[in-house]
Structure 1
Amino acid sequence: MAVTQKLPPKDSVTITEPPKDSVTITDNRTGKTIVVPITNNSIPAVAFKQLKTTPAVSSDRIDTDDTANGIRVFDPAFLNTAAISSKITFIDGDRGFLMHRGYPIEQLAEKSDFLETAYLLIYGRLPDKKQDTTWRYEVMHHTEISEDVKKVIGSMRYDSHPMSVFVSAFAALGAFAPEANPALQGRNLYLENKDVMNKNIIRILGKAGTIAAASMRVRMNRPFIAPRSDYSYCENLLYMMDAQSEGENYRPDSRLVKALDTLFILHADHEMNCSTATMTHVGSSLVDPYSAIAAAAAALYGPLHGGANEAVIRMVEKIGSVDNVLPFLEKVKRKEELLFGFGHRVYRNTDPRSKIIREVADSVFEACGREPLIEVATALRDAALKDEFFVSRRLYPNVDFWSGLIYKALGFPLDFFPILFAVPRVAGWLAHWKQMLDHGNGKIWRPRQVYVGEGLRDYVPMEQRADIEVSTDLDGVLDLPHYQSKRRLQSRL
């Protein structure tokens, strides 16, 4: 007996199960359901643009929620937004794990050096012997800065913050490299000409150390020292900062060179942090890399980023002695004091870099003497790790907690600490900038916003505006000193 298969009506819809690697989202306002694919444990934010409603608009009302263009994903401070896909650095915050291009940070700190790690970050692989030789030669032979750039740096006040000098110098470098400026040479300069890209990567990395040393010499009111291309990267940096005169046969202590080199590896890149995000955001406009570096350095300048290790030293100095550690932590709990050097935006476990830095500290103390504040810092760490208040909040020592103590033991002034963060981070900034140009979609970064301001209203002429009884907009402005002499003030009476 034949079996007759009953076909579904032509206008029927076949319901299928959504793919396993997807999420199903229903807009309860309209009942519309969308299925969004999951790739690398992420979903595309633009998928939410499908969830639209009809805005209630009229001649006297504007839809400030922009409902006609779909739902926006609201994420202040980018707490859970991935703006790029990257092959450079991976962080497992729960495990306290960090790797560059697949290599654990512990192995790089032990076996590599800064220039090799920089090559790895930028080009995606460890160099072979020939590439390594060429790379080191080119970087160390692009360390000179022009006399005009020296004049820019030398014009800074002696008490300028070194990061102000660093930011200004990099902004100036772009003015002296017109051949590297897409605004002058064409917007696709770096998209189409990889030779120009590589040349300027080398120039920027080579000159970063020289600019850093020059910012130190300005502070010391001493003449600039020319770089030594026959020294290693960190050895040359220490030489340019510490040589007494041009051409002096001075060679920094090898223990200090190794310690600084290890610190540079640890600071070279840390995924999409504030300054790296700035580098890629600004770079997406196709501006020259010198301007993007200046912007990234300005972001690093802030006390919540590159200035954190400086804040740690000031905190430990304020605590003063081991006896004051527990009372200080009690004030932190009561929100009367701030605790610097603990916790991290990504890490929910111990920062892996802090373990390595603690080991580096011993070699520095051996060469320069034990830093007196180390006792206070160690007591602070031990007390915090035994206190449930901090443990439950996963507040563990981070890289800034120990690095500041090492820099202080090395004799660097506090305001120079961010510079020692910025120089190695240049490698990471360049790596992400290159990756964005090599694999980006060619679009300028342009985040959305959620507008919560006034609705449509008409302009009110001055004579029709009511007086504001209490105004705080300009409170205190009239009390600011204008630095005018009594003679001039008297003449105005």
Structure 2
Amino acid sequence: MPKWDKLMLWDMRTFRFYSVKIEHNAVDAMQFRKISPLPMTAPIVDHMTNGLTVLDQGYKNTAAVLSEITHIDGNKGKLQYRGYPVGYLFENHDYEEVCHLLIWGNLPTPEQKRQFRANMAKEMVPDPSVNRAVRAFAPEAPAFLIISAGLAAWAASDPSKIPVHAGDRIYLGKTKEVDAGVYRSLAALMTVTAMTSCHQQKKTFIAQADPSLSPIDNMLIMMGKVDRYGNADKKFSKAINKLWILFADHEMTNSTAAYLHAASSLSDPLSSMVTGISACAGPLHAGAIDLAYKRFAEIRATEGGVKKHMEDVKAKKFRLMGVGHRVYRTVDPRVGYLRDMMSQFQNAVNDNPLLEVAKEIENAVFNDEYFTSRKLSINADLYGSFVYAALGFDVRIFTPLAITARSAGILAHWRESMHQPPCLWRPRQVYTGRVSEDA
């Protein structure tokens, strides 16, 4: 029987037919390069130069990688890591186990988990230059900029890990070096995030990492989130371990793509992380967490409150922060687990005056035909911010904590790319300006 996994194209300019193979419900964009307006007698190089370009502004319908890591079905509201439903992982595992799953493809054995902790602790002690870089900023500076500088200093503290400085392709196809880069990057981001939090709150930062503890526990101790015995507060540890599972990866997000775009040049993973953080901090990405929280405060202080704000949203005077998702066309599968977490901190959550604003917005979104007809609902980032607030974290560190949670998935994608043939991400453009006829 003939296979029907082909796209048949008829170019009316030349009346030529083309066949493009369909695989994984996708087509290879390079196949369109052979669709040329030139006569058949033209050299093949001219056909390729003048071949058809796919215009996809903002990559709205372009896949840049083949990946086995994370699967999302937005219509059914499903999210899976390596074939495991996120709900199963949330209920039965902790964040470091999910890290291992995402990055190395399997849930760790007890020995692998012990080695993961030891490797992380070894890398969580920063060079003094990192602390100097962080402290060079005013405490009021945006946290993502402080963290970016700290990571740049961390990378600079060992130039032998920088491909251009070392004069070689350090990571591509080299599992040992890639894994070392993963540990170093995870440890650096968690440590610099803790260092930044201390700097913003004018606390003394103490770099210490116990190889018997989880990376999250070591980070919390660095941040001063400890019990009376100086151990990581179990309430914080348990909550962050669960919360971060829900945000460990989300397929090819803007920040993941930005990271991989930088890394496609074979840059080192820490420098690429700075690129990813810059993308993540924007108001259309994880920076929306900060904006939503600030908007709630404005709504609470404004006459008319939520009702007036919702009317303004319908009139398109404002964008409704914390509502809707670019992927899910039904309820975000993480929201139910976040609600359960909020209920565990009911008193702290209820003491937050901004939560009442969020609840009123949620009620309007779920009951107003304007929003239900558009299949909009509260997104996970909004609920996550209230868990951080209930735990007593400063609002300025919410987005960096979300970025740190996502680093596991980002580095999983980087590791995957380092075991594939090199491919520099270099998109084309469609020029629409004037062309001079002069030489």
TM range (shorter): over 0.9
State whether residues 34 and 48 of structure 2, in contact with CA within 8 Å, keep that contact through their aligned partners in structure 1.
Answer: no
State yes or no: 1:238 paired with 2:220: yes
Amino acid at match of 2:216: C
Q: Shift of the alpha carbon at 1:91?
A: 0.5
Which of 431, 438, 443 is equivalent to 2:423? 443
Structure with max Cα Rg: 1
Tell me the distance in 1 between the aligned counterparts of 2:117 and 2:49: 55
Does 311-320 or 207-216 show the bigger shift? 311-320
- Looking at structure 1, the residues matched to 159 and 140 of structure 2 have their Cα atoms a distance apart, in angstroms, of 31
Q: What's the CA shift string for 1:277-298, capped at 9, x where partnerless? A: 0111110100111100111111
Q: How many equivalent residue pairs?
A: 430
Deviations 1:73-108 (A, max 9, x none): 111111110010100001100111101000111111
Q: Which residue of 2 aligns with 1:31?
A: 15
Shift of 1:364: 2.9
Distance 1:457 1:249 in 2: 78
Alpha-carbon displacement from aligned partner over 1:237-275 (angstroms, at most 9, x marks no partner): 22211269xx98423432222111112111211110011
CA contact (8 A) 2:248 2:407 kept: yes
Secondary structure of 1:271's counterpart equals coil
Corresponding position of 1:84: 65
Decide which of 350, 357, 369 is 2:331's aligned counterpart.
350
Shift of 1:369: 6.1
1:329 maps to: 310
In structure 2, distance between residues paired with 1:368 and 1:452: 53
Counterpart of 1:254 (choices 192, 213, 234) is: 234
- The answer as to 2:81 corresponding to 1:97 is no
| Aligned equivalent of 1:200 | 181
In structure 2, distance between residues paired with 1:118 and 1:343? 27
| Structure 2 counterpart of 1:415 | 396
Output the amino acid matched with 1:24: M
**Partners in 1 of 2:48 and 2:173 — Cα distance?**
39
Show the counterpart of 1:41. 25
Residue 98 of structure 1 aligns to a residue whose secondary structure is strand
SS, match of residue 423 in structure 2: coil
Shift of 1:209: 1.5
Q: Distance in 1 between matches of 2:391 and 2:216?
A: 13
Q: Secondary structure at the match of 1:191?
A: coil
Q: 2:35 aligned with 1:51, yes or no?
A: yes
Letter in 2 for 1:25: L
Residue in 1 aligned with 2:43?
none
* Separation in structure 1 between the aligned mates of residue 98 and residue 138 of structure 2, nearest angstrom: 35
After superposition, the Cα gap between the structure-2 partners of 1:396 and 1:357, relative to the gap in structure 1 and judged at 3 Å, is same
The Cα of 1:457 is off from its aligned counterpart by 6.2
Counterpart Cα distance in 1 of 2:408 and 2:53:
34
From 376, 379, 388, the equivalent of 1:398 is 379
Closer, same or farther in 2 for the Cα pair 1:297/1:390, shift >3 Å? Answer: same
8 Å CA contact retained: 2:349, 2:386: no
Give the match for residue 115 of structure 2.
134
Distance in 1 separating the partners of 2:225 and 2:254: 34
- In the alignment, which residue of structure 1 is the partner of 2:409? 428
Q: 1:158 to 1:300 in 2, by over 3 A?
A: same
- Paired with 2:327 and 2:208, the residues of 1 have a C-alpha distance of 37
Equivalent residue for 1:4?
A: none
Q: Which shifted more, 325-334 or 25-34?
A: 325-334
Segment drifting more, 269-278 vs 46-55: 46-55
User: Which amino acid is the alignment partner of residue 124 of structure 1?
Assistant: G
What does residue 298 of structure 2 align with?
A: 318
Matched residue type, 1:225:
I
**1:198-237 superposed matches below 5 A:** 198-229=179-210, 230-237=212-219
Say whether the 8 Å CA contact 2:55–2:430 is kept in structure 1.
yes
Show structure 1 runs of 5+ residues with no match: 1-16, 56-65, 460-493
* Inter-CA distance 172–249: structure 2 relative to 1 (3 Å threshold): same
Equivalent of residue 339 in structure 1, options 320, 327, 341:
320
Give 2:243's match in structure 1, choosing from 246, 256, 263.
Answer: 263
Say which of 149, 168, 177 aligns to 1:168: 149
Distance 2:382 2:143 in 1: 21
Q: For 1:197 and 1:97, locate their aligned partners in 2 and report how far apart those are by CA, in whole Å.
A: 30
Deviations along 1:459-492, whole A, 9 cap, x unmatched?
Answer: 9xxxxxxxxxxxxxxxxxxxxxxxxxxxxxxxxx
- CA displacement at 1:323 relative to structure 2: 6.9
One of 353, 375, 378 as aligned partner of 2:356: 375
Contact 2:221 2:232 in 1 (8 A): yes
Q: What SS does the corresponding residue of 2:115 show, helix, strand or coil?
A: helix
Looking at structure 1, the residues matched to 133 and 36 of structure 2 have their Cα atoms a distance apart, in angstroms, of 54
Q: By how many angstroms is 1:458 displaced?
A: 6.4
1:291-348 Cα shifts (integer Å, max 9, x gaps): 0011111111111111111122122222228973233212101011220111111111
Q: Does 1:301 align with 2:250?
A: no
1:77 is paired with a residue whose SS is coil
Partner in structure 2 of residue 12 of structure 1? none
| Aligned residue in 1 for 2:164 | 183
> Which residue matches 1:285?
265
Instruction: Please report how far the alpha carbon of residue 188 of structure 1 lies from its aligned counterpart in structure 2 after TM superposition.
Output: 2.5
Give the equivalent residue in structure 1 for 2:44: none
CA distance in 1, matches of 2:140, 2:10: 59
SS at match of 2:71: strand
Change beyond 3 A, Cα 1:331–1:405: same
**Contact 1:255 1:364 (C-alpha < 8 Å) held by counterparts:** no
More off after superposition, 21-30 vs 152-161? 152-161
Identity, % of aligned positions: 34
Distance 2:339 2:296 in 1: 16
Following superposition, the deviation at residue 389 of structure 1 comes to 1.3
Q: CA deviation at 1:430?
A: 0.8
Residues 338-364 of structure 1, C-alpha deviations (whole Å, 9 max, x = no match): 201111111111111122111111223
